[in-house]
Amino acid sequence: MLQNKVAIVTGGTRGIGFAVVRTFLQNGAKVALFGSRQETVDKALAQLRAENADWPVVGMSPDLTDYAAVEAAVKAVCEKFGRVDILVNNAGISAREPLYAYDPAAFSNIMDLNVKAVFNGCRAVAPIMKAQGGGAIVNTSSMVSLYGQPAGVGYPASKFAVNGMTKSLARELGPDNIRVNAVAPGVTRTDMVAALPKDMVERISAPIPLRRVGEPQEVANAFLFLASDMASYITGTILSVDGAAMN
Ligand SMILES: NC(=O)c1ccc[n+]([C@@H]2O[C@H](COP(=O)([O-])OP(=O)(O)OC[C@H]3O[C@@H](n4cnc5c(N)ncnc54)[C@H](O)[C@@H]3O)[C@@H](O)[C@H]2O)c1
């Protein structure tokens, strides 16, 4: 589905991002994964190369909150693979602190990565995609972007902002044939969820109509669809992948 496409995936070292990287590679893309530390980037690359030594994948660790660093990394991907067709803005951190204990610096940190880094990525790739005749940006939102959550206000606020950027940039960049969509996962079995006791995962799953948490692969499939030409007339959409948890 992504033959001859070049993709950048931020937060690609583990969890949902890693599943997206592997799925894109399985579907013929060349992929640059960005992670927070070179050590975890190298570990992810080793894991992928052990699976298939021929996969065209590289990894970098730019500070995503620093525009100049993101621009330089995107330029390096262009030099390596010749173009950029797909950007997945996936790196993100969450928060659970009640407002009464919320450190204002922590609010800024979450906005810097979950919101400003998404802007930085879009800002850096859009001119390249425009010059190439088009592209696809897929952002990672969350089910909390629809209804909020009872603590940790910075996290839902950041994901509401991601939805706002997704819908606004879809309108702005549509004339340049750049599609901008988001995937809004529900509770997904990443390392954090996998480490929870079984009975806690069962409690989390009980109110979800599909009665289970999502698998990273199920979320990655939505990214594959939105990034591919199968979604050529879809832009400005927030696609929920949450077992109807929030519907
Ligand atoms: N796991 C879930 O249940 C769930 C649900 C809804 C939305 N999400 C969203 O999915 C995305 C990925 O989440 P996950 O659960 O796979 O997370 P994870 O913690 O397993 O992975 C996070 C990724 O982000 C990267 N990252 C973290 N801080 C960074 C920084 N400062 N600079 C650059 N990269 C950084 C890490 O390297 C890692 O690759 C996030 O945007 C998250 O908000 C996750």
The DSSP-derived string for 100-147 is: GG--HHHHHHHHIIIIIHHHHHHHHHHHHHHHHT-EEEEEE--THHHH
Protein residue closest via CA to atom 39 of ligand 1: 11
The per-residue pLDDT for range 170-199, each reduced to its tens digit, is 999 999 999 999 999 999 999 888 888 889
**Is the CB of residue 121 below 6 angstroms from any atom belonging to ligand 1?**
no
Which tokens hold the place of 121? 């990525």
**Is the CB of residue 11 below 6 angstroms from any atom belonging to ligand 1?**
yes
pLDDT mean across residues, the chain? 97
Rounded Cα distance between 206 and 245, Å, is 10
Distance between Cα 175 and ligand 1 center (Å)? 31
Taking the alpha carbons of 225, 184, 60, 41 in that order, is the dihedral positive or negative? Answer: negative
How much is the pTM? 0.98
Q: What is the largest CA-CA distance in the chain?
A: 52
**What is 6-240's CATH number?**
3.40.50.720
**Is the CB of residue 14 below 6 angstroms from any atom belonging to ligand 1?**
yes
Best residue for ligand 1 mutational test, from 39, 45, 140 (most atoms within 8 Å of Cβ): 140
- Residue listed under structure tokens 């927030």: 238
Radius of gyration of the chain (CA): 17
What pLDDT does residue 247 have? Answer: 58
Distance between Cα 223 and ligand 1 center (Å)? 15
**β-sheet with 6-10: strand ranges across:** 57-60, 30-34, 6-10, 86-89, 135-140, 178-185, 238-241
- The whole-number average pLDDT for the span 152-167 is 98
| Lowest mean pLDDT across 46-60, 155-169, 193-207 | 193-207
Atom of ligand 1 nearest to the CA of 94: 43
What pLDDT does residue 237 have? Answer: 98
Rounded Cα distance between 169 and 241, Å, is 22
Whether 155 is a known active-site residue: answer: yes
Best residue for ligand 1 mutational test, from 8, 14, 65, 116 (most atoms within 8 Å of Cβ): 14
Q: Confirm if 9 and 219 have CB atoms less than 8 A apart.
A: no
Protein residue closest via CA to atom 7 of ligand 1: 142
The per-residue pLDDT for range 24-63, each reduced to its tens digit, is 999 999 999 999 999 999 999 999 999 999 999 999 999 9
pLDDT over threshold 90, residue 5:
yes
**Nearest 10 degrees: Cα torsion 47, 53, 54, 60:** 40
Which tokens hold the place of 154? 């910075």
- Between the alpha carbon of residue 237 and those of residues 128, 137, 149, 179, 203, the distances in Å are 22, 11, 21, 10, 30
* 3-class DSSP state of 65: coil
Structural domain boundaries in the chain:
6-240
How many helical (H) and strand (E) elements, i.e. helices and strands, does the chain have? 10, 7
pLDDT over threshold 80, residue 246:
no
* Dihedral pair phi/psi, residue 238, rounded to 5°: -110, 105
Which tokens hold the place of 209? 């109509």
The per-residue pLDDT for range 14-27, each reduced to its tens digit, is 999 999 999 999 99
**Is the CB of residue 191 below 6 angstroms from any atom belonging to ligand 1?**
yes
